[in-house]
Structure 1
Amino acid sequence: MNIKNYTIFLAFLVFTITSNAQQLNTAMDSTVATFGEVTIKGKPVKYKAIAGKQPVWDDKGKIIAGLYFTYYERTDVKDRSKRPLFFSFNGGPGAASVWMHLGYTGPYRVKVDDEGYPVQPYGVEENPHSILDVADIVYIEPVNTGFSRPISTMDEKEVAERFFGVNQDIEYLASWINTFVTRQNRWASPKYLIGESYGTPRVSGLSLELQNSHWMYLNGVILVSPTGLGIERGTAVEAANFLPYYAAAAWFHKKLPSDLQSKDLDDVLPEVERYTLNQLIPIMAKGGSISDAERKEAAKNISRYSGLSEKVVLEHNLRIPEQFFWKELLRDEGFTIGRLDSRYLGIDKNDSGERPDYAAEIRSWQHSFTPAINYYFKNFLNYNTDLDYYIGGHTRPWDRSGNTTGDDLRQAMSQNPYLHVMVQSGYYDGATDYFNSKYNLWQMDLSGKLKDRMSWKGYRSGHMMYLRTEDLESSNEHIREFIKLSTPKDGQPAQYLRKTK
């Protein structure tokens, strides 16, 4: 082979290997940068977007996975030491970051109508309410979500043992964040975690892990549609606490008695919450020992607030399963209602049965997000790969043992006087219902000493409240207010002060 032909062959070989690596996205430590500009709150915001993978290492320094991330950084900022940095996670476990990324806080969002329903042609549009004007944002995909993958030599059992569990997840993600902050030179910046659904135990646990293992202290944690966070409820409280959500869903579908239906939702729910706390929980705690009169009175009240008949309530011994509620509320009209957002309607094969055939809201959201995310990465971020984008479903089995994340967050707040927490919930979310998100805060802070740094916001939508245009605007505005609230004044020390007489 002559030199010329050898050079051509070598170039072809290098091109083929490089091309295959790019196509299959096997590189665990590579990124691509693009630049853009969007209009947020009527003003232009220029930014740099970095998309790609950063490794996860084992304790011997060997790469064991590559986490895909998208990092948006405003480019006209002179002093990043005062610029907030957000780490954003979705839930599942096993859900990719697409939902928050292209639904909530990012510079672009999916095309939907004002109530969040899909429209064609599919695609994305500028998000005029994005928080990129006030904060830089990193959207992170844990292992086996999005484009993130473990090394190919690791078998399924080892992958699950290393990555798929409450505490495994928190440990490796904290190390990954530590590396990211160091690489991007952001140690001086105020830092925030925001997580949705299962992302809420993730960020709650990370708040303490980052402090204790990496000495990284946060300014804020935002819990969007939070789960139980490992907080014990018991059978009585668990059964009773769903009633306020039932009332909200029934109010939306106009199934409450006329005197309640004529009131605004904000006037109805406090009444239901008071009944739940002061009367229903004690009744549920009595179980089968309650008298017939108490049972009938409770059934009457549950029926009044849930939109279901007294007969149905009594048939279920006062404890209405959520799945049955989604099937029963509009059964006489031939519709089911959504789990994650009960505004959505579904149609089952049969009107009979104990649960809906499918989740109407999930099918609707997949309409919007699946085409949009695959289009967006390629055409806006210039990220090209033949890997499937795992939106969800590839992190089983998940080890849920040892979940103390609610108390972890409490401890992190106790240790860090700067740390604030905000919860955002949709009233029509039946999976991570709004009243239990309030209950979380009450149980986390039994002493009441942290309540001045805790806040709760409610929205007239469901699990992904940001899909509704009105709530997209208000929820992002609440984040802006939260940043101001959790930013200490220059020179303000992180310390507790005793009250003096």
Structure 2
Amino acid sequence: MTQEPAPQTPAQPSAAALQDHLVVTHHTLTVGGAELRYTATAGTLVLREERHKDGVWEGDKPKATVFVVAYSKDGADPGRRPVTFAFNGGPGSSSVWLHLGALGPKRVLMDELGHPTPPPYRLIDNAHTLLDVTDLVFIDPVSTGYSRAAPGEKPADFHAFNEDIASVGDVIRLYTSRYGRWSSPKFLIGESYGTTRAAGLAGYLQERHGMYLSGLMLVSSVLDFQTLLFEAGNDLPYSLFLPAYTATAWYHSRLPEALQRRPLREVLREVEAFALGEYALALLQGANLEAERRAEVARTLARYTGLSEAYVERCDLRLEIGRFTKELLRDAGRTVGRLDSRFTGFDRDAAGERPLYDPSYATIQGPYTATLNDYVRRELGFASDLPYEILTNLYETWSYKAFENRFVSVSDTLRKAMSINPHLKVHVASGVFDLATPYFATAYTLSHLGLAPELRGNLSTSTYEAGHMMYVHEASLAKLKGELGRFILTSQAT
């Protein structure tokens, strides 16, 4: 590796003096037995406000500095080489998870199941990087990573559904223009709330900037919040979470023996039919459900979840996620993870209603935080005295004013984008042990997009025997690389 210049910490200028601060380094990596030479560009881009005053356009006022890490293959024709813009979700998450877990040229060293090594942690070359098929640009939205609102600007002005899409979209437009990528096949990849953002961006980039994309890759998707929010009067999530509960109970050997010895996929097909059939019908009937039928549904739910019939009855046949993750292994004094239910944790005691923390997030927080902070300084040559905000609690105050009095949904935005651009392809990746964005909720959403029949072939899916960040599981990471690599190669214009 050669590096230019040495790591440096930029001064904190006034808003008027803000300038881009980018560091370029050169690297090599072996992928599929072949040497890949690439250039990394890391640092902050200044987003400037577009204003019209007295009929004159003013575009010099800084509104934010946005941290990006871009990787480009040396010697490739930028006019033909695909470029993929990547981000995570939260809202309030940096792009570290996709960056150092799945797509980038380096990844966090974990064991094959996704457990970390003891601290201190380290990175290894990522043999499953997507850099062999596409250039990569990782974007940290404002108030995540090293991205910040400019002095004098209000950070909260960026912490809203539409404003977030606009700022991330403007970074994509700015990078595309400066680096000559308008004629490149362009892709977006988002994870979790990042899939909500990606669908919104597909519409925003088309309508605001005339930028038509070749494809979207949605990892652990949420396009319609009604499928996930356990709110009074909304029975949909109870049906859509059930197959993930079954997968979790199967993994921890809590199902009856007759189910436990069958292949997981076979069991899930049976549970899916029950979830959208007898179970959904029972929930729709509410208090009108006959006692005999209610008892039968409770027995079946207990059989498919590993919970007792009495507990299912006490929950009124409605198993909210926090209750399930606390109850399944209560007798063993353990809880199961939300992001990845393969992982277990310990609470102060076993008497509570919900877990005190998510053990699957605790597993990855330390390794990804430490390695990112070391990597950007040691190998990418960028340094800042600001804390790198890995995952903030912005989701607690995020503004969805555009969806006042209704559930947040970008399903129709995606449908419209695919209708306007019928060449737009979409691939959706889901983990069966994901209790944050369950795979069956995603399948339900995709089947209700309202796409024209001739466009339905533009959708493809893949599932993994892992969780929300399925790539922490090494076998799933290898499969994900294969699926996404093929998707990019087959979604380009010939």
Q: Given the two structures, how large is their TM-score scaled by the length of structure 1?
A: 0.90
- 1:81 corresponds to which residue? 79
Deviation at 1:444, TM superposition (A): 1.2
- 1:227 corresponds to which residue? 222
Q: Which letter does structure 2 place at the counterpart of 1:100? A: L
- 1:114 corresponds to which residue? 112
Q: Which letter does structure 2 place at the counterpart of 1:439? A: Y
Structure 2 spans left out of the alignment, 5+ residues: 1-7, 52-58
1:477-496 CA-to-partner distances (Å, cap 9, x unmatched) read: 1001111231232xxxxxxx
Deviation at 1:277, TM superposition (A): 1.2
Classify 1:253/1:24 alpha carbon distance in 2 versus 1 (closer, same or farther; 3 Å). farther
- 1:415 corresponds to which residue? 420
Deviation at 1:80, TM superposition (A): 2.4
Deviation at 1:470, TM superposition (A): 0.3
1:230-261 CA-to-partner distances (Å, cap 9, x unmatched) read: 55787222221111010010010011111111
- 2:30 corresponds to which residue? 39
- 2:468 corresponds to which residue? 463
**Which residue, out of 171, 185, 189, partners 1:194?**
189
State the distance in 2 between where 1:173 and 1:479 align: 22
- Secondary structure, aligned partner of 2:462: strand
- Secondary structure, aligned partner of 2:45: strand
State the distance in 1 between where 2:212 and 2:236 align: 34
1:340-381 CA-to-partner distances (Å, cap 9, x unmatched) read: 101111111111111011111111111211110011001110
- 2:90 corresponds to which residue? 92
1:98-150 CA-to-partner distances (Å, cap 9, x unmatched) read: 11000000000011111111103411000001010010000000100000011
- 1:66 corresponds to which residue? 65
Q: Which letter does structure 1 place at the counterpart of 2:347? A: D
> Is this contact kept in 2: 1:427–1:433, CA < 8 A?
yes
1:174-232 CA-to-partner distances (Å, cap 9, x unmatched) read: 12211110000000000000000110110100001000110000010011111243557
State the distance in 2 between where 1:440 and 1:253 align: 28
- 1:431 corresponds to which residue? 436
1:395-432 CA-to-partner distances (Å, cap 9, x unmatched) read: 35211232442211111001101101111111111111
State the distance in 1 between where 2:357 and 2:209 align: 43
Structure 1 residue 374 corresponds to structure 2 residue 364: no
> Is this contact kept in 1: 2:85–2:189, CA < 8 A?
yes
1:40-64 CA-to-partner distances (Å, cap 9, x unmatched) read: 1222111000001111222222111
- Secondary structure, aligned partner of 1:457: strand
Deviation at 1:86, TM superposition (A): 0.2
Q: Which letter does structure 1 place at the counterpart of 2:106? A: Y
**Which residue, out of 473, 476, 479, partners 1:474?**
479
- Secondary structure, aligned partner of 1:70: strand
**Which residue, out of 155, 162, 166, partners 1:159?**
155
Deviation at 1:308, TM superposition (A): 0.7
Classify 1:19/1:350 alpha carbon distance in 2 versus 1 (closer, same or farther; 3 Å). closer
Deviation at 1:446, TM superposition (A): 5.6
Q: Which letter does structure 2 place at the counterpart of 1:116? A: G
Deviation at 1:27, TM superposition (A): 4.5
Classify 1:449/1:236 alpha carbon distance in 2 versus 1 (closer, same or farther; 3 Å). farther
- 1:172 corresponds to which residue? 167
State the distance in 2 between where 1:238 and 1:228 align: 14
Q: Runs of 4 or more off by more than 6 Å in structure 1?
A: 22-26
State the distance in 1 between where 2:176 and 2:223 align: 29
State the distance in 1 between where 2:452 and 2:281 align: 22
Classify 1:24/1:323 alpha carbon distance in 2 versus 1 (closer, same or farther; 3 Å). farther
Q: After alignment, is 170-179 or 45-54 more displaced?
A: 170-179
Q: Where do 1:114-153 residues align within 5 Å?
A: 114-120=112-118, 121-153=120-152
Q: Which letter does structure 2 place at the counterpart of 1:197? A: S
State the distance in 1 between where 2:186 and 2:451 align: 26
State the distance in 2 between where 1:82 and 1:327 align: 51
Classify 1:313/1:230 alpha carbon distance in 2 versus 1 (closer, same or farther; 3 Å). closer
- 2:180 corresponds to which residue? 185
- 2:261 corresponds to which residue? 262
Classify 1:328/1:173 alpha carbon distance in 2 versus 1 (closer, same or farther; 3 Å). same
- 2:281 corresponds to which residue? 282
> Is this contact kept in 2: 1:250–1:307, CA < 8 A?
yes
**Structure number with larger C-alpha Rg:** 1
Q: After alignment, is 51-60 or 30-39 more displaced?
A: 51-60
Q: Which letter does structure 1 place at the counterpart of 2:301? A: I
Structure 1 spans left out of the alignment, 5+ residues: 1-17, 490-501
State the distance in 2 between where 1:394 and 1:344 align: 22
Tell me how large the CA RMSD over aligned residues is.
Answer: 1.9
Q: Which letter does structure 2 place at the counterpart of 1:73? A: S
> Is this contact kept in 2: 1:28–1:67, CA < 8 A?
no
> Is this contact kept in 1: 2:185–2:214, CA < 8 A?
yes
Q: Where do 1:489-500 residues align within 5 Å?
A: 489=494
Q: Which letter does structure 1 place at the counterpart of 2:47? A: V
- Secondary structure, aligned partner of 1:80: coil
State the distance in 2 between where 1:173 and 1:367 align: 27
Structure 1 residue 54 corresponds to structure 2 residue 54: no
Q: Which letter does structure 1 place at the counterpart of 2:39? A: K
State the distance in 2 between where 1:23 and 1:474 align: 45
1:266-310 CA-to-partner distances (Å, cap 9, x unmatched) read: 111111111111221111111111000110110011111111111
State the distance in 2 between where 1:304 and 1:24 align: 63
State the distance in 2 between where 1:222 and 1:297 align: 41
- 2:398 corresponds to which residue? 398
Deviation at 1:20, TM superposition (A): 5.8
